[in-house]
Structure 1
Amino acid sequence: MSDLADPPAPGADEDLPLVDRCLSGDRAAFDALVVKYQAGIQRLVRRYVRREEDAEDVSQRAFLNAFEKLTEFRRESSFRTWLHRIAVHLALNHVRGASRTEPLAEMDDLPAFTNALETSRLVAAEVWTRVAERLSALPPKQRLTVELRLFHELSFREIAALADCSEDSAKVNFHHGIKRLRGLIPDPGA
Structure 2
Amino acid sequence: MEIDDYIVADDRRLVELVLAGDDAAFAYLFDRYRDAIRRLFVQRLCGSDDADDLLQETFIKVYINLNRYRPDYTFGQWIYTIARNTFIDYVRRRQEEQPIDERFAAPASGAPTPEESVINLQRRSQIEYYLSQLPPRYRRLVEMRFFDEYSYEEIAVKLSLPLGTVKTQIHRARERMCRLIAEGERS
The TM-score with structure 1 as length reference comes to 0.49
Q: Which has the higher contact order (CA 8 A, sep 6+)?
A: 1
TM-score (normalizing by structure 2)? 0.50
Greater C-alpha radius of gyration: 2
Higher helix share: 2
